Amino acid sequence: MPIRQLKISGVRNLQPLDLTLQPGVNFIYGDNGSGKTSILEAIVLMAAGKSFRTSQLKHVLAHDADRIEIQMDIDDESLGHCQLDSLRLKGGDHLLKLNGSVLTSQAEAAHWLPVQVIDPTTFKLLSGSPEERRQFIDWGVFHVEHSFMEQWKTFRKQLKQRNSVLKQKEAEWLPVWNKGFVESALVIDQHRRDYLKRFKPEFMRILKALDESVDVSLAYYPGWDKDSALQDVLDKQQERDMVLGYTQSGPHRAELRIKVDKQPAAEILSRGQQKTVVAALKIAQGALFQQESGRRTIYLVDDLASELDEKHRFALCKLLEDLKCQVFITSIDKDKLTDIWQPVASTVFHVEHGRIEDVAQEIQGVTQEQSPVTD
């Protein structure tokens, strides 16, 4: 699933660049503020239509630019070859193309670019809102269940219509909208349940490989009382829903609960342990995607050394190496990249003041016996 060629212009302090990338590991190092994370940001912008660093596009746009342009050449073992082009104007207009044809949905670009980000902000997967964890589940479902996006759109439409009826206090119309709402809600819920049933054992395997001492549990809450039918819950809450003007229960309120000894993991684990758990969640999701689709996830690991000691960095890199996927890893310190993981198929890029230079290629890999953390 490698990005073979990457062109970027108009992103933060990055000078226009045209990179030939490794299908394996791409190390990127440079000082804080040099622009190394902005390269990862551009990849996510193409894949997800938004940045993982800010909710406002104006912060991504270079101060003297009127547009952001990103182009990628992608080779996929199942889908074939494609060229993705993204043009974002300062005024907000966005043009997305696949092989020269205009795309009307971001989902198509996401389908070609199954990207996972591991960075300091991914702590939100544990400590953030339930929406963070719902999005995590739905990423996995979307990339293996091709009908999920349309089913999700149907559910969102049903939810919007039901909320409109509630706001207008039109109780006589609720039975009509409840039927469609419940039907689409149960489809979404079943997809999530099926996915998590397959995901949990893979997550436990990956977490054990990263750190055997960390023991967490995953529990899925559908967004309503699990011992009651959704229709019954809606009937009981109808009066309160009318007062509030929105639907209190449903898949839009689902939650993945990550706990240690029945307590939220974010309240019990150290920051280092939290990062280990988040890394395990992300790697397990990519591993399961690979098993079920035959395709590979692209991993973006920003600031690898942050919060992880040498032992855990080595374990994380070993897991990614086993997946044989494309990886982008950034760090301030070049040595903290290459002393832990030096696979044969790799390239080292140095970023300074927004300019990027290819400084090393085809580094000979270290063996496990050479690793400082082996027995």
168 and 83 both lie in a single domain? no
For residue 25, being part of any structural domain is answered with yes
Whether residues 172 and 221 share a domain: the answer is: yes
State the CATH number of the domain containing residue 214. 1.20.1050.90
- Dump pLDDT digits (tens) for 159-196: 999 999 999 999 999 998 999 999 999 999 999 999 99
What single-letter DSSP state applies at residue 358?
A: E
Closest-CA residue to 36 (of 335, 337, 328): 328
Does the reported pTM lie above 0.85? yes
Owning domain of residue 365: 1-114+295-375
Q: Among the three residues 276, 292, 308, which one is the final residue of a domain in this structure?
A: 292
Evaluate whether residue 119 is within a structural domain.
no
Number of other residues whose CB lies within 10 A of the CB of residue 78: 9
Last residue of a domain, one of 271, 292, 313: 292
Please report the DSSP string for 7-59 in residue order.
Answer: EEESBTTPPPEEEE--SSEEEEE--TTSSHHHHHHHHHHHHHSS-SS-S-GGG
Q: Do 219 and 279 reside in the same domain of the chain? A: yes
Domain identity same for 159 and 261: yes
pLDDT recorded at residue 314:
84
Residues 330 and 240 in one domain: no
Rounded to an integer, what distance in angstroms lies between the CA atom of residue 15 and that of residue 64? Answer: 11
pLDDT tens column, 73-112: 999 988 999 999 999 999 889 999 999 999 999 999 999 9
Our count of domains for the chain comes to: 2
- Annotated binding site, which residues? 30-37
Which of 230, 265, 292 terminates a domain? The answer is 292
146 plus 267 within the same structural domain: yes
Residues 354 and 44: their CA atoms lie apart, in Å, by 18
Over the chain, what is the mean pLDDT?
A: 90
Q: State residue 368's pLDDT score.
A: 37
The pLDDT tens digits for 14-46 are: 999 999 999 988 999 999 999 999 999 999 999
CB 113 within 8 A of CB 300: no
Do 202 and 129 reside in the same domain of the chain?
yes
211: its two tokens:
């750190």
Residue-wise pLDDT for 346-366, tens only, equals 788 999 999 998 885 444 443
Could you tell me if 83 and 150 lie in one domain? no
Quote the crossing angle between the two packed helices 271-293 and 174-210, to the nearest 10°.
110
120 belongs to a structural domain: no
pLDDT the model gives residue 284 = 97
Whole-number Å distance between alpha carbons of 23 and 48: 21
247 and 332 belong to one structural domain = no
Residue showing tokens 């596009």: 57
Region 46-51 average pLDDT? 94
Q: Angle at the Cα of 362 (from 209 to 77), degrees rounded to 5?
A: 65
Judge if 102 and 143 occupy the same domain: no
Q: Detail the residues annotated as belonging to a binding site for ATP.
A: 30-37
DSSP bridge pairs for 256: 220
| Residue whose C-alpha is closest to residue 281's, from 142, 133, 143 | 133
Q: What is the DSSP string of 206-262?
A: HHHHH-TT---EEEEE-SS-TTS-HHHHHHHHHHHHHHHTS--SSGGG-EEEEEETT
- Which tops the pLDDT comparison, 313 or 277? 277
